[in-house]
Amino acid sequence: MRKKYKSQLCIYCGVREATDRDHIPPKGIYPPQWRNNRNLHKVPSCSDCHQYDSIADEEFKLYINIWTGEFRENQDDVIDTMARTIGENQRLASQIFSTATRGYADRGRGILEPVVYIGFNYENYRKVIKRISRGLYWTETKKIMSSKIDIRVVHPYEMNNYLKRYMQNVMNSLEKHELNYGTFVYKCCFSDNGLGILGMQFFSRHTVIAYTVPC
């Protein structure tokens, strides 16, 4: 398989030769049996960009699993994977637990459940979404997104209702693409110069929008 990308440039830096393949979305969000046995989507990458920032990936994996875990079929595997991630990564664990506070969550019908809130570093979340966006741009157009283009990530919680409705209309008008057996869905539209919008959904639950701007 490596041969396939011999004359291909890394789709992230656009400078070095692609010698590796990078999973888009990161394969860490899947339980181990998926990572080894299934044919998950990949894009060509150089080894530097491929190994880039594993702490961001680990934190992203936890974030996605926390938001989607209770709705997924393999809940036990999801919890195991999360526990292992925290167990094996002390820096991440101490960062997360240093922010923990106790509180109550409304589970509907006025039922309050005691929960622990933990703080995430949204910069890492954004970093990974930006990388996925570049990967999806290449997947769709087979072109490398220029380094002169910046990607803005809009978390659903940051959108007011007007913007949400507007984004929903844009997204409804676009064609849906599925990757990794339907666990990851995206819609996008780009102009020739790489400016455009992307909507992504993980495990039919967690949705995020990204758009590109010249920088």
Q: Which residues bind Zn ion (CB under 5 A)?
A: 10, 12-13, 16, 46, 49
The residue among 26 and 69 lying less far from Zn ion, judged by its C-beta, is: 26
**What backbone torsions phi and psi does residue 167 show, to the nearest 5 degrees?**
-65, -40
Q: In the bound complex, what is the minimum distance in angstroms from residue 25's beta carbon to Zn ion?
A: 18
Q: Which two tokens stand for residue 215?
A: 């920088």
The residue among 48 and 77 lying less far from Zn ion, judged by its C-beta, is: 48
Q: In the bound complex, what is the minimum distance in angstroms from residue 86's beta carbon to Zn ion?
A: 29
Q: In the bound complex, what is the minimum distance in angstroms from residue 149's beta carbon to Zn ion?
A: 16
The contacts of residue 40 (CB under 8 Å, 6+ apart) are 23, 27, 30, 34, 179, 180
Q: In the bound complex, what is the minimum distance in angstroms from residue 16's beta carbon to Zn ion?
A: 5
The residue among 14 and 31 lying less far from Zn ion, judged by its C-beta, is: 14
Of 132, 130, 167, nearest to 150 by C-alpha is 130
Torsion of CA 212, 24, 185, 117, to 10 degrees: -90
The residue among 134 and 206 lying less far from Zn ion, judged by its C-beta, is: 134
Q: Which two tokens stand for residue 48?
A: 């530097």
